[in-house]
């Protein structure tokens, strides 16, 4: 076994703290890479707090992982020692189900292996994430990362990037569309960048008036403060798509009212509590309320290549791992510009 240093929550009630653990030896198809940076996703906070379901503890969060390959198994073809590498929210899947066969490993019908707070494909061994100094992953779930981009700012692409890229591609959002990005945080700011890159008119819907200048710098064409009823009324029936990245309870009915006939509200934000939705928010105007989860491995590579080609990275605040708890507190208040990334050299 390979000894690894990390940060873990021992229970939903405890703060993250240093924790030593072990990873498997590098198998014939495995890649081991030393982690240089790991992004901090709101899902990390949801999961250590048991917001969604009872978690597996100790929990080492982190699924926006980038670093340098230090070992490869005998049969590995895609990577060599010294290459840059990345891993997102998945480390394995069954590979044989209908969804896996269509490059939709995130929807694996036999249960994909999440990078942390999940189980390997033996359905027994817990997985531990990227708040750690090294990781061993099957080569099929390791992504190539461009040498051209700032590596720390690439890390959030592995979750925030693909989670916004994938639905915008799936619903073919682009030129001629009016896209609203709801919530300007880690996912939201990537949604703005991709929406603009795909040619849509992008409006940020935010509870934070002070983010307006940033939204415009990110490329957004318009900004609506959702606490201001006049501004909300002005965009009634306006959008083709809403990309909803909100992490906390909110009124979907209000936002559905901003859609045109045949408009689509795409949920990627995953609040802990269910919401009441009136059928009458959907019926007049034949509106759709849909969801999307991260993206498959091939699409994640496509997104990373698109970002390298178009010079797209995340806007980040690099943090010391010792500051993870205050950083979570700031994230909970919507005060991140726009993704915390842990410098793993501080571990
Ligand atoms: P984040 O950086 O904390 O951003 C969330 C943003 O939502 C905040 O910055 C804030 O933006 C807005 N917000 C927060 N509370 C709100 C409220 N009560 N009402 C309205 N707006 C509110 O979080 P993130 O990392 O982007 O993640 C966002 C959500 O997506 C989380 O629930 C996360 O678990 C989920 N997620 C889902 C997937 C997936 O595959 N579907 C993948 C990754 C993450 P403003 O200040 O602009 O209002
Ligand atoms: Zn995430
Ligand atoms: Zn599968």
The CA-based dihedral angle spanning residues 29, 33, 39, 44, taken in that order and rounded to the nearest 10 degrees:
60
Task: Tell me the pLDDT band of 228, cut-offs 50, 70 and 90.
Answer: very high
Residue 104 Cα, ligand 3 centroid: separation in angstroms? 8
C-beta of 196 in contact with ligand 1 (< 6 A): no
Task: Tell me the pLDDT band of 176, cut-offs 50, 70 and 90.
Answer: very high
C-beta of 247 in contact with ligand 1 (< 6 A): yes
Tell me the mean pLDDT in the region 93-101: 98
The protein residue with its alpha carbon nearest to ligand 1, atom 30, reads 269
Cβ contact 327:41 at 8 Å: no
The neighbour count for residue 185, using CB atoms within 10 Å, is 25
Task: Tell me the pLDDT band of 181, cut-offs 50, 70 and 90.
Answer: very high
The ligand placed nearest to the CA atom of residue 224 is: 1
What is the pLDDT, as a whole number, of residue 292?
98
C-beta of 39 in contact with ligand 1 (< 6 A): no
- Closest ligand 1 atom to Cα of 40: 25
Residue 332 Cα, ligand 1 centroid: separation in angstroms? 9
C-beta of 159 in contact with ligand 1 (< 6 A): yes
The ligand placed nearest to the CA atom of residue 103 is: 3
What is the pLDDT, as a whole number, of residue 61?
98
The ligand placed nearest to the CA atom of residue 98 is: 3
What is the pLDDT, as a whole number, of residue 112?
98
Cβ contact 203:221 at 8 Å: yes
Report pLDDT digits (tens) over 305-316: 999 999 999 999
What is the pLDDT, as a whole number, of residue 320?
98
Pocket test for ligand 1, best of 106, 269, 329, 337 (most atoms within 8 A of CB): 269
Task: Tell me the pLDDT band of 5, cut-offs 50, 70 and 90.
Answer: very high
Tell me the mean pLDDT in the region 121-147: 98
- Which of 221, 222, 265, 218 minimizes the C-alpha distance to 246? 265
Task: Tell me the pLDDT band of 274, cut-offs 50, 70 and 90.
Answer: very high
Task: Tell me the pLDDT band of 24, cut-offs 50, 70 and 90.
Answer: very high
- Closest ligand 1 atom to Cα of 267: 41
C-beta of 294 in contact with ligand 1 (< 6 A): yes
> Percent of the chain scored above 90 by pLDDT?
100
> Percent of the chain scored above 70 by pLDDT?
100
Distance CA 131, CA 7 (A): 6
The protein residue with its alpha carbon nearest to ligand 1, atom 22, reads 246
What is the pLDDT, as a whole number, of residue 157?
98
The protein residue with its alpha carbon nearest to ligand 1, atom 36, reads 269
Contacts 24+ apart (CB under 8 A), 225-233: 226/182, 226/254, 232/258
Residues 6+ apart with CB under 8 A from 206: 183, 184, 212, 215, 223, 224, 225, 226
Residue 334 Cα, ligand 1 centroid: separation in angstroms? 8
Distance CA 72, CA 53 (A): 35
C-beta of 272 in contact with ligand 1 (< 6 A): no
What is the pLDDT, as a whole number, of residue 148?
95
């Amino acid at each position: 076994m390979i000894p690894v240093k990390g940060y873990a929550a021992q229970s939903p009630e405890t703060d993250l703290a240093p924790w030593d653990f072990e990873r498997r030896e590098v198998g014939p198809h495995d890649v081991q890479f030393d982690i240089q940076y790991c992004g901090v996703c709101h899902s990390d906070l949801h999961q250590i707090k048991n917001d969604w379901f009872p978690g597996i503890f100790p929990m080492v969060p982190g699924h926006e992982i980038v670093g340098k390959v230090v070992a490869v198994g005998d049969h590995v073809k895609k990577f060599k020692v010294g290459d840059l590498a990345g891993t997102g929210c998945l480390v394995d899947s069954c590979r044989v189900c209908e969804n896996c066969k269509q490059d939709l490993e995130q929807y694996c019908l036999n249960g994909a292996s999440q990078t942390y707070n999940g189980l390997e494909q033996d359905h027994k061994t817990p997985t531990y994430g990227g708040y750690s100094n090294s990781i061993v992953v099957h080569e099929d779930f390791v992504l190539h990362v461009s040498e051209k981009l700032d590596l720390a700012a690439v890390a959030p692409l592995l979750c925030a990037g693909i989670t916004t890229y994938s639905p915008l591609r799936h619903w073919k959002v682009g030129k001629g569309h009016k896209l609203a990005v709801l919530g300007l945080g880690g996912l939201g700011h990537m949604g703005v960048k991709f929406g603009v890159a795909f040619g849509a008119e992008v409006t940020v819907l935010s509870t934070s008036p002070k983010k307006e200048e940033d939204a415009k710098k990110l490329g957004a064409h318009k900004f609506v403060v959702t606490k201001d009823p006049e501004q909300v009324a002005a965009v009634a029936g306006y959008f083709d798509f809403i990309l909803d990245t909100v992490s906390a309870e909110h009124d979907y009915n209000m936002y559905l009212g901003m859609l045109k006939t045949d408009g689509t509200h795409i949920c990627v934000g995953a609040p802990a509590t269910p919401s009441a939705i009136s059928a009458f928010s959907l019926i007049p105007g034949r509106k759709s309320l849909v969801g999307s989860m991260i993206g498959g491995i091939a699409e994640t590579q496509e997104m990373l290549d698109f970002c390298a080609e178009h010079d797209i990275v995340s806007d980040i605040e690099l943090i010391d791992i010792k500051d993870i708890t205050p950083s979570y507190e700031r994230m909970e208040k919507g005060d991140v510009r726009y993704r915390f990334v842990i410098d793993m050299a501080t571990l």
